[in-house]
Structure 1
Amino acid sequence: MSAPSVPEELTVTLVKAGRTKISYPSELLHDDGTRLTVRAAWASEDVRDFGFVRFEPGDVFTEHYWRDRWYAIKEVRAADGTVKGWYCDITRPALRDGDALVVEDLDLDLWVSADGSEVIRLDEDEFADSGLTESDPAAARSAAGALDELEFLARSGEFTALLD
């Protein structure tokens, strides 16, 4: 009889403007060389109320990161397993180094409710104020294009196919 396998842990680090925004442990579920999927508990003891969704202790995030795309998609479930929706971060492609997963947040975000009735673009003002358009125009175009792509997929009903 073989010993049960121990889940591989990754530390996810979100970087913004060159500084660590947050770092938290996660369990690696999948890594095919292009897409990585991890599971992590809400990384705060506090509730974060956005008005359209609340992230709170007990919530579980299944997070999908790509090495060749400019976004990350995080499925958010309540403690009882109910899907709240998907929070999408516009990021540079993810970098994995051993047990570390580093993702650079580019300010733009998209929220997609569980039933798809709400698709909300977020933080466009922060993106405009970030200076990325001037400092790295190609990255700014990639980020804006990624937000447009995700919004189109969410509104067309093809969004969850990205996660299969």
Structure 2
Amino acid sequence: MSEALVVIKLDAEGREAWRYSGQVLRRWPDSVLLEAYFNRADLDFHGILFGRGDRFIELYYTDRWYNIYELHDRADGHLKGWYCNVTRPAELSDGRLTYVDLALDLLVYPDGRQLVLDEDEFAELKLDDLTSAQARAALEELKEIFHPPVGLRLDQMVKS
């Protein structure tokens, strides 16, 4: 039986923004791979439909300033794209995975197109210079990871 974790997303000021359950698929010393299912109403998000019940494979790091979600269609499992959050490093304890979202996001389409989101929201955050620089560096690292052709497939990391 796989291990369950409660994922807790906090905003930059530490307020809870979202909570849901995920199943651990794989662990490494500095990261964890989870499976979760989208639990909100269907949402057309910049041309990608996030559908209730869509399968998300989520990669969280305890030493990097981002997480990566790989989105798969609920009906046939096809890859819809990736959604990346710029965050403080995740914290794991007592059956919980908690991360602080720093507003910047990167949406990556299956063909490799990238869309940076929420730069205006990020600019309004009251972050110190070091945190702001870490967040910007994380966004650049994500852009490089997903530079076309995209070779990353989280669903292939489950057993490798």
| TM surpasses 0.5 | yes
Alignment counterpart, residue 103 of structure 1, candidates 74, 99, 103: 99
Query: What's the offset of the Cα at 1:52?
Result: 2.2
CA contact (8 A) 2:39 2:53 kept: no
Measure the CA separation in 1 of the matches of 2:141 and 2:44: 26
The answer for unaligned runs of 5 or more in structure 1 is 1-5
Change (3 A) 1:84 1:106: same
* Aligned position for 1:91: 87
- How many pairs align? 154
Matches within 5 A, 1:3-152: 6-16=1-11, 17-44=13-40, 46-79=41-74, 80-116=76-112, 118-132=113-127, 136-152=128-144
CA contact (8 A) 1:35 1:66 kept: yes
Larger Rg: 1
Query: What's the offset of the Cα at 1:36?
Result: 0.6
User: Percent sequence identity over matched residues?
Assistant: 37
Amino acid at match of 2:39: A
Query: What's the offset of the Cα at 1:18?
Result: 1.2
* Aligned position for 2:146: 154
Q: Deviations over 1:84-115 (max 9, x none)?
A: 00000000001000210001100000011112
Query: What's the offset of the Cα at 1:43?
Result: 2.2
CA RMSD of aligned residues (A): 1.6
Question: How does the TM-score come out when normalised to structure 1?
Answer: 0.88
Q: Which has the higher contact order (CA 8 A, sep 6+)?
A: 2
